[in-house]
Chains A and B, each alone.
Chain A
Amino acid sequence: MQDIEITQDENLAIDALIVRHQRTPGALLPLLHAIQDNIGFVPESIYPKIAKALALSVAEVHGVVTFYHHFRTHKAGEHVVQICRAESCQAMGSEALEAHAKKCLGVDYHQTTADGQITLEPVYCLGNCALSPSVMVDDEIYGRVSSAELDALIAEARR
């Protein structure tokens, strides 16, 4: 288990979020979302703190974090690029787009570029299936994306 340092500020933010969510029914997912929204990931070092606040075991917290594709235990790059791999996008050439992205960025899925800028992730449907193939950069979806357009999106994100 790799230990990841978090700053004092991040620690304080996490404490505040725990207090805010502690009494919510089924608090764990909302809390994990809040933490990831705030600091970008859910470090393993805070599992004990979460477990204690929600009266769970550390193993239960670990089990939940790892069950869901959305939660990450390591910091992502500055930007996350998700490429849709689902059927509708496949029908419109997403495989070529995936290959192009991996080649240009020099990374595979779940990896971050050497400059720490872009993390590449697969995604299974963005609900943009009438305008396939689709890509999501951070919180924005793009439709009918060609390789050239993907290059432009990545360049813009890097700027």
Chain B
Amino acid sequence: MVTQVYIPRDSSALSVGAEKVASAIAAEAKRRGLEVQIIRNGSRGLYWLETMVEVATENGRVAYAPVKPSDIASLFEADFLNGKSHALCLGLTENLAWLKQQQRLTFARVGVIDPVSLEDYIAHDGYLGLTNALKLSGAEIVKTVTDSGLRGRGGAAFPTGIKWNTVLGCEAEQKYIVCNADEGDSGTYSDRMIMEGDPYVLIEGMTIAGVAVGATQGYIYLRSEYPHALATLNEAIANAEKAGYLGENILGSGKTFNLEVRRAAGAYVCGEETSLLESLEGKRGLVRFKPPLPAIEGLFGKPTVVNNVISLATVPIILDKGAQYYADYGMGRSRGTLPIQLAGNIKHGGLVELAFGATLRELLYDFGGGSASGRPIRAVQVGGPLGAFLPESQFDTPLDYEAFTQIWAVLGHGGIVAFDDTVDMAKMARYAFEFCAVESCGKCTPCRIGSTRGVEVIDKIISSKGKPEHAKTIQLVRDLSDTMLNGSLCALGGMTPYPVLSALNHFPQDFGLPATAEAGKA
């Protein structure tokens, strides 16, 4: 009998040796004359346990983790191919508490299936959404997405259905669907996990978008740092074309949708949608003035839907199970689920998909297990390099767009980066300015000049600690932040004050101020 063994091909799993584990298992099986079929799945998202090897048994998949090449001989000795016990055995994967406590809608198949196998995708409810969509009018598809309450998961949380409706309402001989796969935020990797672990769900979501608004060409703008995602996407697109899920006359519907991956080139600002469009057109990624919105004048001047990977990859389940099914999850105006990414100094880092409403504390401690270093978690940055730093007193904030706005923070793309008590928050503020200076597109002065000035001012704050001019330098950084907040063309310059001022306000002692000064003030 051939035993099926699952070993992830996800880049994070590869980063800790999954490839060596896979070849060691293949070699050992051969040596012992045992027949195994190795399936390279995506990651289940329990990254601290990579490389996680799963064996299909009659009771379900049994997990062994974290497996190193040096464990292979003993795993075979213990008869792991029959799911037998071993020091690394975690039991049935589906019973792992970390997974059981999640609500995986967008990530339902990630880690479960062979990412490039179209048969596997279809066997796990793939393409049911598109099949339904093809029976509806464009307006009906858009209404379903609107009714689901789905908001842009790239960070700005604009309602996806309303964006699509603008494009649907435009008359044009050509429209485009552009997937923003630039995933520049540190602490985020959910886009990558989808592209590497379930690429067809993104392809299906983009196809539904195309059918809905009448766009026949799609582009995935993929960051150049993701070579594995590139290979997986290209393989999946080729398979989908061959099977009639992409190209002309999709599934006999008479509709056309073509899809192509374009590589970005390492500029953070190109994740901003108008900069991205410039880049796709082959130009420097200078941010455009809005209006006109990309929905009206986007790629090559044509109406264009620009959506994040997760937004698009969530569309198939909405079209499959219905708007209400999705909207039933969540709190307030944040409907559905959010794939949260635990990162930085965290013991159990990984992907947690939950309905909106869980608190930061639950994520950091119940899922994350506290810091990796074992020291207290002092600060977390949520929402990437342009997101605010939150102190422990704010860890009970629920993950909800509006709740975060209320405390002058951003949920963004759902990345949570933890820092222990060795962090120097003045240094983090300096880094925020430095990052903005490196990545600024240079189009507007508050960002281009302000960021460089910001680095200098923070240096002055640090060097003037305890001196009379110190108070003046603090005022300087506040004024500068004000200018950037109000005078920048895009959120790169406009949101850099979030990490800077939140660090200053919540951790004043790191800037040479008394611990109580202005805490909580934005």
Contacts and interface: CB of A to CB of B under 8 A. Distances in A.
B47 A28 contact: no
Contacts of A60: 283
A139 B423 CA distance: 31
Contacts, number: 150
A50 B372 CA distance: 50
Interface stretch (B113-121, B139-147, B264-272, B470-478): B264-272
Given A26-B281, A70-B224, A130-B341, A33 B263 contact: yes
Contacts of A91: 343-345, 417-420, 423
B336 to A, nearest CB: 23
Interface in A74-105: 86-92
Given A26-B282, A91-B344, A132-B343, 14 more contacts: A29-B262, A60-B283, A69-B265, A86-B385, A87-B344, A88-B343, A127-B183, A127-B226, A129-B344, A129-B417, A130-B47, A130-B350, A131-B349, A141-B14
B107 interface: no
A86 B268 CA distance: 12
Q: Of residues B263, B341, B342, which shows the largest number of chain A Cβ atoms within 10 Å of its Cβ? A: B263
Interface in A27-42: 27-30, 32-33
B345 A92 contact: yes
Interface in A1-47: 25-30, 32-33
Nearest to B193: A127
A134 to B, nearest CB: 7
Contact of A129 (B14, B186, B226): B186
A115 interface: no
B297 to A, nearest CB: 16
Contacts of B284: 63-64, 67
B263 A129 contact: no
B184 to A, nearest CB: 6
B294 to A, nearest CB: 15
B267 A131 contact: no
A126 interface: yes
A142 B345 contact: no
B48 interface: yes
B41 interface: no
Nearest to A91: B344
A69 B283 contact: no
Contacts of A141: 11-12, 14-15
A33 B265 contact: yes
A103 B48 CA distance: 30
Interface of B: 11-12, 14-16, 47-48, 50, 183-189, 191-192, 223-227, 262-268, 279-285, 300, 341-346, 349-351, 372, 381, 385, 415, 417-420, 423, 428, 431, 435, 438-439
B487 to A, nearest CB: 23
A64 B266 CA distance: 12
14 contacts: A30-B263, A64-B282, A70-B224, A92-B372, A124-B184, A124-B186, A125-B188, A129-B189, A130-B48, A130-B351, A131-B15, A131-B349, A134-B15, A140-B15
Contact of A143 (B16, B226, B342): B16
Contacts of B349: 129-131
A139 B511 CA distance: 40
A141 B48 CA distance: 16
Given A123-B225, A124-B186, A125-B184, A132 B344 contact: yes
B263 A29 contact: yes
Contact of A130 (B189, B223, B282): B189
A130 B186 contact: no
Contact of A128 (B11, B262, B281, B420): B11
Contacts of B282: 26-29, 54, 64
Contacts of A71: 265
B8 to A, nearest CB: 13
Given A124-B184, A129-B188, A139-B227, A87 B428 contact: yes
A92 to B, nearest CB: 6
A88 B345 CA distance: 7
B473 to A, nearest CB: 23
Contacts of B186: 86-89, 124-125, 129
B266 A69 contact: yes
Q: Of residues B183, B186, B385, B420, which shows the largest number of chain A Cβ atoms within 10 Å of its Cβ? A: B186
Contacts of B281: 25-26
Contacts of A70: 224, 264-267
In order of increasing CB-CB distance, the 7 nearest A-B pairs are A130-B349, A86-B186, A28-B282, A129-B343, A68-B265, A143-B15, A91-B344
A84 to B, nearest CB: 8
A140 to B, nearest CB: 7
Nearest to A125: B186
Contacts of A29: 262-263, 265, 279-280, 282
Given A26-B281, A69-B267, A123-B225, A128 B419 contact: no
Contacts of B423: 91
Contacts of B192: 127
Contact of B344 (A92, A136, A142): A92
Nearest to A64: B284
Contacts of A129: 186-189, 341, 343-344, 349, 415, 417
